[in-house]
Amino acid sequence: MTKSVRWEEFDKILVIQRLRDLVSRWWNIQINFTDEKGLIRGVPEGKFFNPTNMICKMITQDDRGFTGCRGTAQQTTVETMNSKSAKISRCHAGFSALSVPIRIGNKYMGCVFADGFVHESTAAAQREAIAAYLRVNFPDSVAEHQKHVDSLTVLSKKELQYLTELVNLVVAEILLVQRDLSTEKQKVERLHKELEQRYNFDRMVGRSAPMQDLYQVLERVCESDATILIQGENGTGKELIARAIHYNSARQNNSFVVVNCGAFNDNLLESELFGHVKGSFTGAVKDRKGLFEEADQGTLFLDEIGDTSVAMQVKMLRVLQEGTYTPVGSTQQQRGNVRILAATNKDLATMVRKNEFREDLYYRLNVINVTVPALRERREDITLLIDHFLQHNAGKTKEAVKIIAKDCMEKLLNHDWPGNVRELENEIERLCVLSGRDNEIAAAFLSPRIKDTLPDKFSDYRVHGKLKDALEELERRMIEDGLERTRWNKSRLARELGISRAGLIMKVDKYGLEKRSG
């Protein structure tokens, strides 16, 4: 719950308006809110809520009178701080004031107070005091004031009890509204954070054919509300894709909620997803919203879906099939409007065959399948990704974008990247840090596993047979590899290999590589 109270909102709440009206019409009593310092809140310019009792009206319209009322409000607030329930005090002009503390958690936020009446048991003395106050401060038309004094509201003990209940109701309503407002605020804050992240996430990088195919699928699926299963090895960008789908969909202004299904045991995951009601298990001290509810109108990303137990899979299937779920400990079904995206690095089809994953859930999730290519299947994207991460690092450190020395780049291109994009990203970040102020990053800074890898493709050189054949084979493989790496940029490859462009074209022809380039 937030610490700041949104006083200005309370005035707009219908129940509070009604209660105020009621009290004002019946008894000419006004209800006001003060903050913890005793300042009148929720009414523009710190005025009092429209007093209907003629004497209070006159007093609040007069500068000195108003100052007196403010003083009373402050004193009342201070006095109410330690009281457990309603407290009765006396205002500077002699009226009674009833105040009830507002506490959020253990913090005193101020009070609601009702004033402008006299109490039956002390009515005569109070009338006397009020008349005296008016004689001193408003010496004109004393006779008229006396009429108002005579017609003041006198509350019996029972009526005072009733008024107390009404003021308590106002406090209860304030607490309720404040709770809703702070949840709303948290939601907005979370949404903003998500949007910022998205900005930082940049777009997906990759120009290779598999990535182009992926973009095409993504473009088509963003518009729909279909469930999507994103599959791919570790660190291939599954979450990045899920975010991209959400932020390019009609749901972009609502929440994107991630749940890592592998991080919870069954009981916790169920309560995390569907929420629970107070008392449903030890520790459930109050009702708690589940992530399904949090994601209402937005997207729920079920990450690591392959790690959920079969029992949990049944519950998820129900939500996907019927759109309904039941909070833990509740008997009431809830319905939500949530788009589901799921991701896993496991081979769900094989798991289905081994009865480790429910077939019906698999088909429900797999309405549209997005398979993210591993980095080794799109090696031509490596340079682009390296560039992207170098720029990203420069943005973070506010230094010039670094460059990678030739031998270092060769090692980077030859590595197999079992950890995919994430591993590459981490390696570049590490290189940027270790290279310090150097603008060019040398191979010496590479992680040992990358520095020490031999170029795999060429590790099986032929060392027998005719030298001519072995050289030709090496030549063919270097050209083949180079064409793929440079995306068939023959001028660049010719430069790299130290031969003429025409010479390269001849060799490409000789080895029949052109056809394979498509």
Ligand X SMILES: Nc1ncnc2c1ncn2[C@@H]1O[C@H](COP(=O)(O)OP(=O)(O)OP(=O)(O)O)[C@@H](O)[C@H]1O
Q: How far apart are CA 245 and CA 228, in angstroms?
A: 10
Q: Please say which residue, 193 or 406, places its beta carbon nearer to ligand X.
A: 193
485 is in the binding site of which of Mg ion, ligand X, none (Cβ under 5 to 8 A by kind)? none
- The DSSP symbol for 401 reads P
240 is in the binding site of which of Mg ion, ligand X, none (Cβ under 5 to 8 A by kind)? ligand X
- Is residue 287 close enough to count as binding Mg ion by CB under 5 A? no
204 is in the binding site of which of ligand X, Mg ion, none (Cβ under 5 to 8 A by kind)? ligand X
3-state secondary structure 270-308: HHHHHCECCCCCCCCCCCECCHHHHCCCCEEEEECHHHC
Say what the alpha-carbon torsion angle 131, 136, 142, 145 is, to the nearest 10 degrees: -40
CB of 205 to ligand X, least distance (A): 4
**Assigned token pair, 431:** 């290189």
Q: Please say which residue, 173 or 233, places its beta carbon nearer to ligand X.
A: 233
Q: What is the β-pairing status of strands 107-119 and 30-35?
A: antiparallel
- The DSSP symbol for 442 reads P
- Is residue 234 close enough to count as binding ligand X by CB under 6 A? yes
Per CB under 6 A, the segment of 235-243, 262-270, 321-329, 396-404 that binds ligand X is 235-243
CB of 401 to ligand X, least distance (A): 16
- Is residue 379 close enough to count as binding ligand X by CB under 6 A? no
At 107, is the secondary structure helix, strand, or coil? strand
Please, what is the angle between helix 54-61 and helix 63-80, to 10°? Answer: 110
- Is residue 235 close enough to count as binding ligand X by CB under 6 A? yes
Type and span of the H or E element at 410:
helix 406-414
H-type alpha helices, 33-62: 54-61
CB of 422 to ligand X, least distance (A): 4
206 is in the binding site of which of ligand X, Mg ion, none (Cβ under 5 to 8 A by kind)? ligand X
Please, what is the angle between helix 406-414 and helix 382-397, to 10°? Answer: 120
Q: Out of 65, 68, 237, 373, which residue is the one contacting ligand X (CB under 6 A)?
A: 237
Q: How far apart are CA 141 and CA 175, in angstroms?
A: 44
26 is in the binding site of which of ligand X, Mg ion, none (Cβ under 5 to 8 A by kind)? none
Residue in the block written with tokens 């997207």: 299
Per CB under 6 A, the segment of 103-111, 154-162, 244-252, 418-426 that binds ligand X is 418-426
CB of 249 to ligand X, least distance (A): 17
CB of 392 to ligand X, least distance (A): 9
* CA geometry: angle 50, 56, 57, nearest 5 deg: 50
CB of 299 to ligand X, least distance (A): 15
Q: Out of 11, 62, 159, 239, which residue is the one contacting Mg ion (CB under 5 A)?
A: 239
237 is in the binding site of which of Mg ion, ligand X, none (Cβ under 5 to 8 A by kind)? ligand X
Handedness of CA 484, 490, 494, 496 (dihedral sign): negative
- Is residue 232 close enough to count as binding ligand X by CB under 6 A? yes
205 is in the binding site of which of Mg ion, ligand X, none (Cβ under 5 to 8 A by kind)? ligand X
Contact in structure between 301 and 348 (CB atoms under 8 Å): no
- Is residue 307 close enough to count as binding Mg ion by CB under 5 A? no
Q: Please say which residue, 210 or 323, places its beta carbon nearer to ligand X.
A: 210
Would you say how long the chain is, in residues?
Answer: 518
Q: Phi/psi at 188 (nearest 5 deg)? A: -65, -40
Contact in structure between 269 and 311 (CB atoms under 8 Å): no
- Is residue 484 close enough to count as binding Mg ion by CB under 5 A? no
Q: Out of 175, 195, 204, 367, which residue is the one contacting ligand X (CB under 6 A)?
A: 204
Query: DSSP string spanning 11-77?
Result: TT-HHHHHHHHHHHHHH--EEEEEETT--EESSGGG--S---SHHHHHHHHSHHHHHHHHHHHHHHH
235 is in the binding site of which of Mg ion, ligand X, none (Cβ under 5 to 8 A by kind)? ligand X
- Is residue 373 close enough to count as binding ligand X by CB under 6 A? no
Q: Give the total of residues touching ligand X (CB under 6 A).
A: 17
Q: How far apart are CA 386 and CA 265, in angstroms?
A: 38
- The DSSP symbol for 234 reads T
317 is in the binding site of which of Mg ion, ligand X, none (Cβ under 5 to 8 A by kind)? none
Which region, left, alpha or beta, applies to residue 235 given φ > 0 means left and ψ of -120 to 50 means alpha?
left
Q: Please say which residue, 218 or 443, places its beta carbon nearer to ligand X.
A: 218
Q: Helices H, strands E: what count in the chain?
A: 22, 15
* Chain centroid, CA 30 distance in Å: 41
Per CB under 6 A, the segment of 71-79, 172-180, 421-429, 460-468 that binds ligand X is 421-429
Q: What is the β-pairing status of strands 96-104 and 87-90?
A: antiparallel
Q: Out of 96, 345, 414, 435, which residue is the one contacting ligand X (CB under 6 A)?
A: 345
Q: Please say which residue, 416 or 473, places its beta carbon nearer to ligand X.
A: 416
- Is residue 438 close enough to count as binding Mg ion by CB under 5 A? no
Q: How far apart are CA 310 and CA 292, in angstroms?
A: 19
336 is in the binding site of which of ligand X, Mg ion, none (Cβ under 5 to 8 A by kind)? none
Per CB under 6 A, the segment of 29-37, 115-123, 232-240, 313-321 that binds ligand X is 232-240
User: Which residue type occupies 174?
Assistant: I
Contact in structure between 509 and 404 (CB atoms under 8 Å): no
Q: Please say which residue, 243 or 490, places its beta carbon nearer to ligand X.
A: 243
CB of 197 to Mg ion, least distance (A): 14
CB of 207 to ligand X, least distance (A): 10
Q: Which residues bind Mg ion (CB under 5 A)?
A: 239
Interface positions with ligand X (CB under 6 A): 201, 204-206, 232, 234-240, 345, 388, 421-422, 425
